[in-house]
Chain A
Amino acid sequence: MTDPVPTPTPTQTVGPFYGYALPFPGGGEVAPAGDPAAITVHGYVYDGAGEPVPDALLEFWQAAPDGSLAGRPGSWRRDPASGGLLPRDAFGFTGFGRVPTGADGHWTLRTLPPPPAAPYLSICLFARGLSRHLFTRAYVEGLGGERELTALAAERAETLLARREGAGVFRFDVRLQGEGETVFLSFGH
């Protein structure tokens, strides 16, 4: 290595054709099967004209309910016969989900509530047209994060709130641009 302090490799768009490569079965089923504590978080991704974005990919990462950030492998499995992708084993909690938007721009995640110490889902969003991925957070309403959220994003804080729609169901829309533009985050040094 000639460069002692390397700069990061530039990002490039995910493009339109990641769909047969990155999504995996049950990518939005992060909660163990049948767990009564599971919550559903869902929403739409909209562009600057208010049109749904049908080719975005959302990745989710969060603390486990006990506060652990260690994660664990097993978000998907390989079929030993076909080599194909299978859903996760349905028991463990990996903290990781990956969901493409549908033709209507909608996505759904079923997960366990994050702990009060870190009451949000971290989201990394990719799409055709975005040279760089976008980070944001969905603070789950009612888990005590509202004050932290207001301190973080002031009057635009509401764009980071996943609002309760019903029992265990929360709504989080992403607006990439314009009116009500979602607050995106950077994690510089």
Chain B
Amino acid sequence: MTDVVVDERTPGRVVDPYRSGALRVPTRAPLAVGGDPEAVELYGPVFGVTEVSALDADLTRHHVGEPHGERITVSGRVLDRAGRPVRGQLVEIWQANASGRYAHRRDQHPAPLDPNFTGTGRCLTDAEGRYAFTTIRPGAYPWGNHENAWRPAHIHFSLFGRAFTQRLVTQMYFPGDPLLAYDPILHTVTDAAERDRLVAAYDPELSVQDWSLGYHWDIVLDGPAATLPDPEATP
């Protein structure tokens, strides 16, 4: 791991390193096997209606009552590196509640659990590669990385593409959050412009009248896939 991370937009500021990786990040470079057209990883698992129900994308409706917090809609498109929509693929999210507490037994942050919020959701991308979730804005939470370390509000995203090589797990952040400048996890992305791509945009077009605030966030999947014809494409 790197020793220190300098925020290049604010000269002199040093962001603490992400310590959890010290004994976990491999020391050797990965072995490149990109040239093998037979690689199993150029194909991937498929998901469908059995794995996802329509209600899964609305995290505010998983319990009898309404969760606490600021209701939001988060939507965007999943694209491949050629800019093509990634259709019919699984998107999974998980997040803390409005108080910054996860519904996970190991989360010991002394903030209240919300009996009306679990914080997990799923959907499949549509014909344009679009995903959409209704949820609440998660709270910031403290963690043990360094003194007064607080994670900025974020939603964890897990995505599948057409190939196992396109697998992506990442986190979406909120614009204007003062904690973004101090977060060692966000700063594992060392380029400022790349970090900005993890920050959603407030989008009034996605807001729902008298109901929720809208955020827009597009995702680009990496990785080669086998060059099979797109089964969804009409000739």
Contacts and interface: CB of A to CB of B under 8 A. Distances in A.
Interface of A: 1, 4-22, 47-49, 51, 53, 59, 61-63, 69-78, 80, 83, 89, 94-96, 114, 117-118, 120, 122, 124, 126-131, 133-135, 152-153, 176-178, 181-189
Contact of A8 (B53, B220, B226): B220
Given A78-B51, A129-B18, 8 more contacts: A6-B220, A15-B185, A129-B25, A131-B185, A135-B165, A177-B26, A181-B28, A187-B165
A48 B24 CA distance: 6
Contact of A11 (B41, B96, B170, B226): B170
Interface of A is mostly: loop
Interface size class on chain B is 35 or more
Nearest to B143: A16
A171 to B, nearest CB: 21
Most buried by B among A96, A133, A188: A188
Given A21-B120, A78-B50, A94-B45, A176 B25 contact: yes
B235 interface: no
Interface string B42-73: 11111111111101100000100000000000
A153 B120 contact: no
Contacts of A10: 170, 189, 194-195, 197-198
A157 B171 CA distance: 34
B94 interface: yes
Interface string B188-230: 1100001101100000000000000000000111111010000
Interface stretch (B6-14, B101-109, B174-182): B101-109
Given A5-B81, A22-B92, A78-B51, A61 B44 contact: yes
Given A8-B81, A10-B198, A47-B23, A17 B50 contact: no
Contacts of B25: 129-131, 176-177
A184 B81 contact: no
A21 to B, nearest CB: 3
Contacts of A13: 18, 20-21, 169, 171, 185, 188
Contact of B31 (A18, A80, A124, A186): A186
A12 B198 contact: yes
Which of A59, A127, A129: most chain B Cβ within 10 A?
Answer: A129
A129 B24 CA distance: 6
Given A7-B220, A152-B33, A184-B31, A74 B41 contact: no
User: Most chain-B Cβ atoms within 10 A of its Cβ — which of A10, A19, A122, A131?
Assistant: A10
Nearest to B61: A83
A154 to B, nearest CB: 10
Interface in B72-91: 79, 81-83
Contacts of A7: 81, 194, 220
The CB with the most chain A CB atoms within 10 A, among B51, B96, B118, is that of B51
A3 B48 CA distance: 31
B47 A73 contact: yes
A69 B21 contact: no
B26 A181 contact: yes
B45 A63 contact: no
Nearest to A153: B31
25 contacts: A8-B81, A9-B219, A12-B169, A12-B198, A13-B21, A14-B169, A17-B104, A18-B156, A22-B94, A47-B23, A48-B27, A59-B167, A63-B40, A69-B40, A76-B51, A122-B41, A122-B164, A128-B24, A129-B24, A130-B21, A130-B24, A176-B26, A177-B25, A187-B42, A189-B224
